[in-house]
Amino acid sequence: MTLTFNELRKIKDRLPHGSIRKIATNLKMSEETVRNYFGGANYSKGEAVGIHFGQGPDGGIVIIDDTTILDMAIKMTKEKQGQN
């Protein structure tokens, strides 16, 4: 899957409070790894997981090999929208 960095950040920004922790717990990974997925860069406490960043328009291009975290985030944002 390919999207822009700004699109990825918009998804992260729409997440309900506590979602990063919930995703990390469900996938048995550190919260920093989930944050790195959304553009963070704390690799001393987290890892890089199936995502590649490159230069390009709208903040750059993001190529995602494994959409598991993204899929969970999109589901959580849709659930949040349904509650509003």
Inter-residue contact 48 to 36 (CB < 8 Å): yes
H/E run at residue 61 = strand 61-64
Give the tokens for residue 21.
């922790």
Instruction: Please count the other Cβ atoms lying within 10 Å of the Cβ belonging to residue 84.
Output: 4
| Among the listed residues 76, 48, 52, the one whose alpha carbon sits nearest the alpha carbon of residue 3 | 52
Global confidence as pTM: 0.85
- Please report, in tens digits, the pLDDT of each residue of the chain (84 residues total): 999 999 999 999 999 999 999 999 999 999 999 999 998 877 777 877 778 888 998 999 999 999 999 999 999 999 877 765
Give the tokens for residue 10.
């918009």
Per DSSP bridges, beta strands 51-54 and 2-4 are unpaired
